[in-house]
Structure 1
């Protein structure tokens, strides 16, 4: 007998805060680049397939930065150095030329440089001169720099933009010798695309096609802020930071959630129905805080569920018998339903299908879902959660994943037994449907994340632990100064905002010898700068230790890129 299946895609959109609050400048350009490529394309595919229902998770700090760029384009005061150079009028300085050369080849070479002969020629010329030493690079002309800036931004345009925007087609056809006027036109297009992201998704949400969820505002690793010891639940032998705990961490988690709710209501008209915790990281105490803040659902990784079943002294059955249903805690966290991602399906999209023909990959994905529905418990319709990064994977796909997503959405839109839905709608309808998977009660939750089911990506090695100790010391100073009454309300607000940025999980993600050295260096500098700035705002001298790198990363090859991880080792 043919059975039905409920499918929830949760596309997670996130970039950490790249702003230097002291200068207002953006240190890295990834927010606006992903806006013109991935956020634009993902909206396009949903508009193209109105029968598709998905969850779009936007981290508030990403939305803050998108609105910052909107303001920059509106006022003409551009605070992103690379974006500023796109419309430069004067001869570039040595430092500006170096920024262009350092930035404009940092893309997937096989999918974003090699397919464009002129862009590849710019790369080949750079490589040839680089072997001759730094002095040889001075032979690169101003026109070379202008063409490189244009091609970098053209390559970062989404496939939907390349297909439907006349200016982009004209520039790609011209291929070289770009003028200031043409660079200005491309700059204006970037402004239009970036400024339209939030209104575009708000319209999709208002139509009922998507649910927009949130993450605690600055993407903190909530269980670790609450209690470092939670890492021991899945990694009992892992070394911990010297600091016993993060001071007043539970209050900080509550603050990030409250900020996220306020952000969501201001931008989308209501508070989010549920949240994807940063990195799908949960613990019993984290879920209790979510419940206190009125969160209706949360989600995490399959490994966390497996560890939780084992921790409850139960044997782990076949995946079809436990994975595809919501869970609640037996005690505490009332009102919060937990969903757990299918790691296999999510990783197929994140890491495997980029090497497949789009139609073959989409068909294979549907076959996987059909197999899940065939083996579902009798009388139960499984709910399958596919949760992954909605931006970083696509640059490894041909045409930014256009054919795969178009084929997949088309097949799902017309599938007789697979219903795409959202967590909010699933929970609402499950009360009246007799066939839907009912929430199962768990005695406890084993603390962990979607990566390996533990917190090894953020704590437990020398570099990551050192970063936590630096943050704990800064937080102690923060608490002391804030309670002293020495700062004005405006000064307190500035210090609190700076601390929020320091509490992001992203810094700890990047530290370690398995990440690319150039990326680690960028995040290492920004993390130490953020902490130094926090001390300045507190009117205290920064520790000398902040002058030394926390981590140096890997000088060799790494799998895909440091922004992505598989769920299992």
Structure 2
């Protein structure tokens, strides 16, 4: 039996959704916030609650927190029969009258099939039958669309939401179990029962994570307000640090980028405190996007630690393959916070490789790799940082990863040579001299260690130029003092939404036409709303799409780090 101290392991779950709300009409363009809310955010906290010795770090983006609160209010009103749902999918589920126009029904049917076929739709026999009938009509007999009854559409909508429920909910909540056992022929009362359940689930999310944090079971961290790539706000040339030939936008720089970075950080802290009652001391900069000035700004605003990708460490150490010792330790940045680096291999195993494995086999494989690291003859000061999305991988696992996550927490919490911990708790237990200095931090992100996902492509660069133009209008109007204090604050916040990384992620590259269309349109809507708040004419080019994507594109919310 080894007398070495257990190897610290940090499971770091990043929870993020951009603002899907049309800022002009105020309705939601996509349902992903509430769907992940009733599935992944409740499942992830339930697994932590179920294992009292487990620890983890959970990161929330402020735009996600705000949308959770907004959806909670909408659903609570709908549960008592009051109007106010601003999500078309929810409105169809809760509304007593379903649309009769064929195009509207087609949109609803297509929406109610957007979930993994193998692991979800095929799992539930009634849902599978409904989906196959919908396929028959959509793929082979579109003229038959008008013959699908309201009951068919009702049952399909109910099953879609039942399928999106967290596995921990389906296993414990009698309302969910009754609706699943019923199988079909759902009434208006059944639909309202489901709405009420979803309202409770959404309302529980933030308080449950807050209670775990207050009890010391988890650590909560934050990302700058709208998930912007701060190094690019500060300097477009950051993209050329690792890709010297990368094309840049026509605009030489984002005007006033440092002031905007400061606003993004301060606003994140304010939203975080409003929901959790504490100030964050750790941050996942959006997409792990860092540079020396980004790290310094976060440190100046009270952040003790940050985390980023393994590729950033690779470039910073000027090595193709950091050693295990180099990767699995914290680094003290010059004039900055302590920095932790993602283990790409272990993180991507969870995000991608294990989804088709038996849960016990997947956990055994991960623990085997961690045990191998624990056996290395290394000095103190080590930590393995496993960092990935906390919402996007699980629908591709059986039972929303119920078996995998349950076994993961149980076995890691009980392992004699591995110790689940949090970044702050680890730092509290370490001597300063065991934290390695890092004198050079090369700008980059967790994806490939660079910024190619967000800049350097024709469409991405065009979006940056459109944002720069809007920022020029913002600066001019603000300097003229034309806005009331309320209007000025609304303009700052709307500009923040325009600065989000998500718009640039989905433009260009190999992304599918449908994803590009949705996010490109939202980007233009957010820019147009900013001009309207400013009292400025909306530029004509915001009325036309400027990016299309590929018909067979493969872009995904999930990517590997390398």
* 1:69 shift after superposition: 1.3
Alignment partner, residue 321 of structure 1:
325
Q: 1:89 and 1:318 mapped to 2: Cα distance?
A: 60
Alignment partner, residue 515 of structure 1:
511
Alignment partner, residue 463 of structure 2:
467
1:52 pairs with 51, 54, 74, which one?
A: 54
Q: 2:339 and 2:37 mapped to 1: Cα distance?
A: 30
Q: 1:42 and 1:132 mapped to 2: Cα distance?
A: 40
Maintained 8 Å contact 1:220/1:278 = yes
Q: 1:139 and 1:327 mapped to 2: Cα distance?
A: 64
The 1:316–1:556 alpha-carbon spacing in structure 2 relative to 1, beyond 3 Å, is closer
The 1:260–1:376 alpha-carbon spacing in structure 2 relative to 1, beyond 3 Å, is farther
Residues 505-514 or 359-368, more deviating: 505-514
| Count of aligned pairs | 554
- Secondary structure at the aligned position of 2:492 is classed as helix
Could you list the per-position Cα deviations for residues 479-513 of structure 1 after superposition, in whole angstroms to 9, with x for gaps in the alignment?
11111111211221222221111111011111124
- Secondary structure at the aligned position of 1:131 is classed as helix
Alignment partner, residue 154 of structure 2:
146
Task: Give yes or no for the alignment of 1:258 onto 2:266.
Answer: yes
Alignment partner, residue 91 of structure 2:
84
- Secondary structure at the aligned position of 2:545 is classed as coil
Could you list the per-position Cα deviations for residues 209-234 of structure 1 after superposition, in whole angstroms to 9, with x for gaps in the alignment?
00010010111110001100011111
RMSD over aligned CA atoms reads 1.5
* 1:381 shift after superposition: 4.8
Q: 2:163 and 2:157 mapped to 1: Cα distance?
A: 10
Alignment partner, residue 541 of structure 1:
537
Alignment partner, residue 168 of structure 2:
160
Alignment partner, residue 100 of structure 2:
93
Maintained 8 Å contact 2:106/2:145 = no
TM-score by structure 2 length?
0.96
Task: Give yes or no for the alignment of 1:355 onto 2:359.
Answer: no
Q: 1:487 and 1:134 mapped to 2: Cα distance?
A: 52
Q: 2:459 and 2:307 mapped to 1: Cα distance?
A: 28
Alignment partner, residue 416 of structure 1:
416
- Secondary structure at the aligned position of 1:467 is classed as helix
Alignment partner, residue 289 of structure 2:
281
Residues 407-416 or 109-118, more deviating: 109-118
Maintained 8 Å contact 1:161/1:168 = yes
TM-score by structure 1 length?
0.95
* 1:135 shift after superposition: 3.0
* 1:375 shift after superposition: 2.1
Alignment partner, residue 244 of structure 2:
236
* 1:132 shift after superposition: 4.3
2:473 pairs with 471, 477, 499, which one?
A: 477
Q: 2:321 and 2:130 mapped to 1: Cα distance?
A: 55
Maintained 8 Å contact 1:373/1:381 = no
- Secondary structure at the aligned position of 1:392 is classed as coil
Residues 122-131 or 87-96, more deviating: 87-96
Maintained 8 Å contact 2:510/2:549 = yes
Could you list the per-position Cα deviations for residues 224-273 of structure 1 after superposition, in whole angstroms to 9, with x for gaps in the alignment?
01100011111111111111111111111111110111122222221001
Q: 1:374 and 1:550 mapped to 2: Cα distance?
A: 54
Alignment partner, residue 204 of structure 2:
196
- Secondary structure at the aligned position of 2:483 is classed as coil
- Secondary structure at the aligned position of 2:9 is classed as strand
Could you list the per-position Cα deviations for residues 505-551 of structure 1 after superposition, in whole angstroms to 9, with x for gaps in the alignment?
01111112412221221111111111111111111122222222232
Maintained 8 Å contact 2:56/2:218 = yes
Question: Unpaired segments of 5 or more residues in structure 1?
Answer: none
- Secondary structure at the aligned position of 2:184 is classed as coil
Q: 2:110 and 2:377 mapped to 1: Cα distance?
A: 51
Could you list the per-position Cα deviations for residues 431-457 of structure 1 after superposition, in whole angstroms to 9, with x for gaps in the alignment?
39xxxx821112211100000000011
* 1:179 shift after superposition: 0.7
- Secondary structure at the aligned position of 1:475 is classed as helix
Q: 2:458 and 2:29 mapped to 1: Cα distance?
A: 26
Alignment partner, residue 14 of structure 1:
16
Q: 1:156 and 1:517 mapped to 2: Cα distance?
A: 25
Residues 340-349 or 101-110, more deviating: 101-110
Q: 1:308 and 1:549 mapped to 2: Cα distance?
A: 38
Alignment partner, residue 567 of structure 1:
561
Maintained 8 Å contact 2:12/2:386 = yes
Q: 1:105 and 1:317 mapped to 2: Cα distance?
A: 42
Maintained 8 Å contact 1:280/1:449 = yes
Q: 2:370 and 2:141 mapped to 1: Cα distance?
A: 54
Q: 1:71 and 1:532 mapped to 2: Cα distance?
A: 27
Alignment partner, residue 68 of structure 2:
66
Which runs of structure 2 are paired with 1:436-515 in the superposition (5 Å)?
438-515=434-511
- Secondary structure at the aligned position of 1:34 is classed as helix
Residues 294-303 or 263-272, more deviating: 263-272
Residues 65-74 or 173-182, more deviating: 65-74
Maintained 8 Å contact 2:170/2:177 = yes
Residues 128-137 or 39-48, more deviating: 128-137
